Chain A
Amino acid sequence: GAVVSQHPSRVICKSGTSVKIECRSLDFQATTMFWYRQFPKQSLMLMATSNEGSKATYEQGVEKDKFLINHASLTLSTLTVTSAHPEDSSFYICSVNLAGGPQETQYFGPGTRLLVL
C-alpha cells in the first residue's frame, strides 16, 4: 500500500481566516490525489481531484475559489479553506491513487479535523 500523512491533524480557527491542510505521499509519487470531506456519522464526499502540475477538478457544488487546491509536486497536495465559516467545520481527508496493474486502490491519510469558531 501507500503511506499518506496529513498536517495538521486538528486545527481551530476564527471565522473569516484561511486554513491550509497538507497531504503528503510518503513512499511513492502520486500524480493524482483526492480530497474528501466527512461530516459526523456521514460518509466521505469527494470534493476534488488534485492533479500534479495542472488545475484541480472540482465536484459539482464545491466552490473552487473557496477550496483552493495546489498539487505542486508528486508528493504534496495542499487544500486551503479560504475565508472559513462555521459551516466549513468538518473532517477533511486526502487520498492517493495507487494505480497500475490490476488494482487502482486509494489509500487515505489520517484526516484533519477543522473547527471554525
Chain B
Amino acid sequence: EDQVTQSPEALRLQEGESSSLNCSYTVSGLRGLFWYRQDPGKGPEFLFTLYSAGEEKEKERLKATLTKKESFLHITAPKPEDSATYLCAVQVSGTYKYIFGTGTRLKVLA
C-alpha cells in the first residue's frame, strides 16, 4: 500500500535554530514528491517539486532533498514567519493523485 509518513509531528525551534523535517514514503512508483506550506485556515501553498533521487531545490531559507526512500526539508536560520504546517505529498506513477502525509507543525519562537 502506498504510504507517506512525516516526522516529527510537531517541532518548536528558536529563531535561527536550523533543523530538518522528514518525509518517508513507500510507493509502487514515484512520479513526483511535493512540499507545501499551510497556514492555519488556509489552503496549501506550493513550495517544491522533486522528481528523482539526488535532486535538490532551494528557496530562501528552505532546501528540499530527495532520496529513494525519503525527502528532507531543511530550514536554515528560521524566522517566526516560517511557522506553519509543512505538508509532503507524493504522486504515484500512472496517476494524477497525491497522497499526503499528516504534516509537521513548525513553531519558530522569537
Contacts and interface: CB of A to CB of B under 8 A. Distances in A.
A90 interface: no
Nearest to B88: A43
Given A32-B96, A43-B101, A1 B41 contact: no
Contacts of B36: 108
Interface in B49-104: 49, 51, 87, 89, 91, 96-98, 100-103
Interface string A84-98: 000000010101010
A6 to B, nearest CB: 8
Given A46-B98, A97-B96, A105 B49 contact: yes
A93 to B, nearest CB: 5
Chain B binding site: helix, strand, loop or mixed by DSSP? strand
B43 A109 contact: yes
Contact of B44 (A44, A46, A104, A113): A44
Nearest to A103: B49
A105 B43 contact: no
Given A32-B96, A43-B100, A43-B103, A104 B43 contact: no
Interface string B28-52: 0001101010000111111001010
A27 to B, nearest CB: 14
B46 to A, nearest CB: 6
A38 to B, nearest CB: 9
Contacts of B101: 43
Interface of A: 1, 4, 6, 32, 34, 41-46, 49, 91, 93, 95, 97, 99, 102-111, 113
